[in-house]
Amino acid sequence: MSLAEELNKIRDELQTSFDSGVTMPYEYRIGQLKKCAAMIKAMEKEYFEAVQKDMKKHPAETNGTDLKFTESDLGYAMKHLKGWMADQYVKTDIVNKLDYAYQHPEPKGVVLVIGTWNYPLQCTMVPLIGAICAGCCAVVKPSEVAPSSSAVMKKYFDLFLDPLCYRTVEGGVDTAKALLTITWDHIFFTGSVSVGKIVAKAAAENLTPVTLELGGKCPVIVDENTNIDTAAKRIIWGKCVNAGQTCIAPDYVYCHKKQIATLIEKMKSHIADMYGEDPQQSDCFARIINKTHFNRLKSLLSDGTIAVGGTTDEDTHYIAPTIITNPVLDSKLMTDEIFGPILPILEYEDVQSVLKYIRSKQKPLVCYVFSNNAKLIDQVKKRVSAGTLDVNDCLMHMMVPTLPFGGVGHSGIGKYHGKATFDEFTHHKSVLHKPIGMESVNNLRYPPYDAEWKQNLMYSLAYYKPSM
């Protein structure tokens, strides 16, 4: 059996399960979520070891930014699932006053989830949790770029989840391409903009709805009116978590010229505080995922002046936390998403020039601003289009389950986390339930139109009038 035939067979089997209605009851969905909770507990030790093998990432960092994040999202979903599944009633106008109008959440069907490698469990399982909550069946493909993590996830997904409704498929580019030739009811993809375009193009062939969680260059604005030491600490932490291999990591900093020298010195100090004088010896600092990404990042080091760091080791894929000043604006350092522990810093005097620069680029996944100036924060909020605005911190918006997360334009399509993930995999069907009686009232709308005043009366009651 060819790869395409095997994948189509899986798709057909899941369709049969979905058509049977097995995923529709609350009891089934909550039961699968409880199995997810048990699975996370069971896989914890092996998962930590796998991520450490893939990226040399400290178990505490994996626990806090990946596993516990997933566990928290799962717990929130379990608590609120029954309410999410309920019909949502809406108000009616006077003509439909005796009718019932509501939205009924129904699962989209059989969906595809394509995960990524930098936070393997979080970026694969959180979408899957939403699909389970919605009542969908799903094929899940972890990223082959993190092979150890992928293998552990497949092992435990297969052990704990219902194989009639949820299947895990491993493989490389050929597998991904084959999956994209199949018709799905929704595709959820996390990864690069370039691959996101391929996914969107394939989905468009069948008018398949998509969620694209992509990335881009996330700017940071550091105002003169802020606590520079705290700003430096939070920016360095946000940049160095996972060795900068985070879609929402600060990508470049614009700092007021009065504070830029202080900011760089504080950043240098906090790098030493977190990772020691030689971060290469620290077990708290991860490594670049593979040689391809290492070489790409190493080539960026010549696109400006290295103020801090710059050390590399090809054998271990190590790149030191690095600060670059005077970056060349048309270089890859400033045009491409960095996705590594390299941070360009530029100075500004007039914040309007910064806002103009950011607005001239593709819309970022996140914009960060550090300031105590309410007027400046409001300007950034209103003038910079981004998936999220984070004020006086980095990454922490991800910890709020009631804040949907996602991009805009090149940084992504759709949002997830909490109820937003449920909504991505749900069709909210509009329902109007009208009593069969009282036809004398409804006679106002029927031909023949020989009583014009009746028609006008009906429509004047039914439609809202614009204000003059």
Residue position matching structure tokens 């949502």: 88
Q: In sequence order, what are the residues at sequence separation of 6 or more whose Cβ sits closer than 8 angstroms to the Cβ of residue 362? A: 216, 217, 409, 410, 411
DSSP string, 267-305: HHHHHHHHH-SSGGG-TTS---SSHHHHHHHHHHTTSSE
Q: Is 247 part of the annotated catalytic residue set?
A: yes
Q: Which is catalytic among the residues 213, 337, 347, 424?
A: 213
247, 215 in Cβ contact below 8 A? yes
Give the whole-angstrom CA distance, residue 313 versus residue 236.
21
User: What spatial distance separates the first Cα and last Cα of the chain, rounded to whole Å?
Assistant: 68
3-class DSSP assignment, residue 373: coil
Integer-rounded Cα radius of gyration of the chain: 26
407, 190 in Cβ contact below 8 A? no
| Longest distance between any two alpha carbons in the chain, whole Å | 90
146, 117 in Cβ contact below 8 A? yes
Q: Which of 228, 201, 41, 236 lies closest to 121 in space, CA to CA?
A: 41
DSSP string, 387-429: SEEEES-SSGGGG-TTS-B---GGGEES-BSTHHHHHHTEEEE
Q: Is 218 part of the annotated catalytic residue set?
A: no
Q: At what angle do helices 26-55 and 120-134 cross, to 10 degrees?
A: 170
225, 371 in Cβ contact below 8 A? yes
Give the whole-angstrom CA distance, residue 99 versus residue 329.
61
Q: Which is catalytic among the residues 137, 247, 255, 394?
A: 247
Structure tokens at 51: 């991520």
Structure tokens at 170: 């491993």
Structure tokens at 337: 């998403």
Active site residues: 213, 247
